[in-house]
Chain A
Amino acid sequence: MKKANILVVDDDKALAEGTVDVLDAKGYHVSAANDGFAALELVKRVPFDIVLMDVRMPGMNGVETYSRIKEIRPKIKAIMMTAYSVEDVVEEAIQEGVYKVLNKPIDLDGLMALIEALAG
């Protein structure tokens, strides 16, 4: 049952890669993108169930990217990650329908439990 498709989007390549490896080890189908535009290209091709995305990225930020992903995959579930504690952005994300905003560095046990719940 652990076949959920997860997209990891972060401009920090090491973090994206590390996260992909962890999720892959946990048995999920994982893809990664390093900016919003690449993420959208992937979303068009792959039916992701969950997107795990950084808020602050160059070009197009996470919240904006999510709102465009939703146009393609309205049922996709989003978890946002941020190194900043800017309440405004968090509020905007929640309003857009983001499931949860997590602070970096991520508590990975918590993240795993969250993803398991969403994938289930």
Chain B
Amino acid sequence: MSGKMTKEQLMKELDSLRRRITEMEALEAERRQVERMLAESEEKYRLLFDNYGDPITVYGIDGRLLLINAIGAKNFGGRPEDFVGKSCAELFPEQGSTYLERLRTVALSGLAADFEDRVKLPSGERWFGSSMQPIRGEKSNVHAVQIISHDITERKQAEEALRQSEERFRMLFESTREGIVLSGSDGRILSVNPAAAAILGYNSPQELVDKFGPELYANLEQRKTVSRQLREKGHTEDMELALKRKDCTLVYVLGSSIIRKDSEGKVLRVETVWVDITERKRAEKALQESEEKYRSLVTNIPDAVWTATSQGDLVFMSPNVEAITGYTPEEMCQGGYQMLFERTYPDDVKMMMERIGPQVEKGMPFDVEYRFRRKDGGWIWLHTRTTAGYEKDGTTYTDGVSTDITERKRMEQELKEYSENLELMVEKRTRELKDAQEKLVRTEKLAAIGQLAGGVGHELRNPLAAIKTSAYFLKMKLGKTAEEKVNKHLDMLEKQVDACNKIITDLLDFSRPGKTNIVEVDINQVVREMVKTIGAPANVEIATSLAADLPKVMADSGQLERIFSNLISNAIQAMPDGGSLSLRTSQSGGFVEVKVADTGVGIPQENLDKIFEPLFTTKAKGVGLGLAIGRALVERHGGTIGVESQVGKGTTFTVRLPVVGK
């Protein structure tokens, strides 16, 4: 193909060249266009770079500043040409090495990186957010790093403020004594503070997270009320609630809850605050109990409890004052001490005024016993004592207690009288003991006599019977033929045997009174029967005086007849020259009395004590058992027999028998 070309070939060549020229022209035009555009772009970029509102810097990988825009330079306190070429260390005396390190990291890795730094500038410290971009050369190797920074100082400050604020709230949340619980709309606990955990007895707030809040309520009704109020009002305020602690004991809180909703009304969470009032409730209960105890004490002690001022006004009086004085507490308070003195027994008023007045003025306690007139006019003894005065709100008060000591006083008086009478009583008692002893001796003596008499009496009856039979036989045989004196002696034998037998019978009766038949007896009737059979001599006049409505006695009427017939026969024997025999019945202090009185010879004083003793007699005939038997029988009936006598005037025996018990 060399050397010679056809026209055609040339033409072709020419066309080709033309085309190429055209192409090149086009390329040139395009290049120029690009250059122009590039220039424009560069200009634009430079303008952008120069006028960009945030600092833009470009560093070489050696850490020297290659480019810096105006605002960047301004931050450093100069113009761009003042800083280009300086090293990181020069530009940032404190953080230079750190920055250089970052530059190298970005350059080596070829990866962009962001940083936030606090930078010391001549104008002061500022926060910057920086974005580092590697800049690649023709061979794609990184030869520079561009940093675009943005002043984030305000954001940082806001963030700090927020952080501090959160910190403060966090501290409050952590340290407050009120329990705080945040729950989700489903009732699950999101967060609680340590106080809430402590109130519920959990070791850490974390233990409570995710628990179902309403289950903490110990009282179903309270749980329902809280739930209803939250639904209806969106909040609850200071509700007293009982909560279940972890150990199942109860804790009492004052709870307030509020529902937080978003702008669309969707429930975000429920915030609850608890104040532990267990201790307060305990204190309230203790106070209440203390008050109740005080009230109960004041009401139940039998004493009146009261409070007075140093001016003598009574300001409090316990209700039981009414039981003591008949006055209501209000009536007692009216008139103060003055009225108290007016109701005091006149003899005690002076003592009261002297004892109470000065003490009250000095605020000193006093202690007095005095007589007080009850509302019903009766007098009672009061013992009043007080505390020392005490100051309250500028007034001096005294507390007092008044006790009704009437009974004690009465006992004291009785005791006094008793001790005064003691000697007399001892004497009386000694006499009674002596009497009792004498009676015992007498009884024993009687028993011994009785036993002996009984034995002897029986043994005597057989020989007496033999004597009597023999006398009868002799009288039978001799009766018509014997001389008169023989018959007289035979009669005497018979009579003396009968007399002996009478003595034996008396002795036997005395030793063994036989069976008694105790029934209700009308003494008047017994006396009337006796009178019919007395058979008194003509010179003895008999008078009876029987009490009407005489109560009956329990007695053996046969024994009563023996007692009275003995007394009557004694009386008749005491009046050998005639006289008057009187029988009187009467009632006296639970006893029926029968008096048998004669106007006979009487009994000398020295014999009066002995007449009831067995075997004592002043009569020519008789063994002296009649009155002894009489007294034994009377005493067996629970009664007594007594005698009064005057020599030459007469004797009266008094038999007293107990009335039938109702």
Interface residues of chain A, those whose CB is within 8 Å of chain B, are 12, 14-15, 18-19, 21-22, 25-26, 81, 83-85, 87, 104-106, 108
Contacts and interface: CB of A to CB of B under 8 A. Distances in A.
Given A14-B463, A15-B469, A85-B508, 10 more contacts: A22-B476, A25-B473, A26-B476, A83-B458, A105-B464, A105-B468, A105-B469, A106-B468, A108-B468, A108-B469
A15 B473 contact: no
A25 B476 contact: yes
Contact of B465 (A26, A84, A85, A106): A106
A15 B476 contact: no
A83 B470 CA distance: 17
Q: Which of A12, A87, A104 has the most CB atoms of chain B within a 10 A radius of its CB?
A: A104
A87 B508 CA distance: 13
Given A22-B476, A25-B476, A83 B461 contact: yes
13 contacts: A12-B462, A12-B466, A14-B463, A15-B465, A19-B469, A22-B476, A83-B461, A83-B465, A85-B508, A104-B461, A104-B462, A105-B461, A108-B472
Contact of A18 (B458, B470, B515): B470
B477 interface: yes
Contacts of B473: 18, 21-22, 25
A14 to B, nearest CB: 4
B514 interface: yes
A7 to B, nearest CB: 16
A12 B465 CA distance: 10
Interface in B450-498: 458-459, 461-470, 472-473, 476-477, 497-498
A67 to B, nearest CB: 23
A22 B309 CA distance: 117
Given A83-B461, A105-B461, A105-B497, A18 B476 contact: no
Contacts of B472: 18, 22, 108
Interface string B490-520: 0000000110010000001000001100000
Q: Which of A22, A26, A83, A85 has the most CB atoms of chain B within a 10 A radius of its CB?
A: A83
Contacts of A22: 469, 472-473, 476
Contact-size category for B: 20 to 34
A104 B462 CA distance: 7
A87 B512 CA distance: 12
B469 A106 contact: yes
Nearest to A10: B462
A37 B473 CA distance: 28
Looking at chain B's contact residues, is the secondary structure mostly helix, strand, loop, or mixed? Answer: helix
Given A25-B477, A83-B462, A18 B469 contact: yes
Nearest to A84: B458
Contacts of B465: 12, 15, 81, 83, 104-106
A55 to B, nearest CB: 11
Contacts of B498: 105
Nearest to B497: A105
Closest 9 CB pairs of A and B: A18-B469, A83-B461, A105-B465, A15-B466, A14-B466, A104-B465, A105-B468, A12-B462, A108-B472
A105 B505 CA distance: 11
A25 B469 CA distance: 12
Contacts of A84: 458
A106 B477 CA distance: 18
Contacts of B469: 15, 18-19, 22, 105-106, 108
Q: Which of A15, A26, A87, A106 has the most CB atoms of chain B within a 10 A radius of its CB?
A: A15
Contacts of B466: 12, 14-15, 18
Contacts of B477: 25
Contacts of B497: 105
Nearest to A13: B466
Contacts of A83: 458-459, 461-462, 465
A94 to B, nearest CB: 16
A87 B461 contact: no
Nearest to A83: B461
A82 B564 CA distance: 29
A15 B498 CA distance: 16
Contact of A87 (B458, B462, B464, B514): B514
Nearest to B469: A18
Nearest to B505: A85
Nearest to A15: B466
A84 B458 CA distance: 6
Contacts of A14: 463, 466, 470
Contacts of B467: 105
A85 B465 CA distance: 15
B497 to A, nearest CB: 6
A12 B466 CA distance: 8
A21 B472 CA distance: 10
Interface string B512-551: 0011000000000000000000000000000000000000
A21 B514 CA distance: 35
A90 to B, nearest CB: 12
B454 to A, nearest CB: 9
Contacts of B462: 12, 15, 83, 104
A105 to B, nearest CB: 4
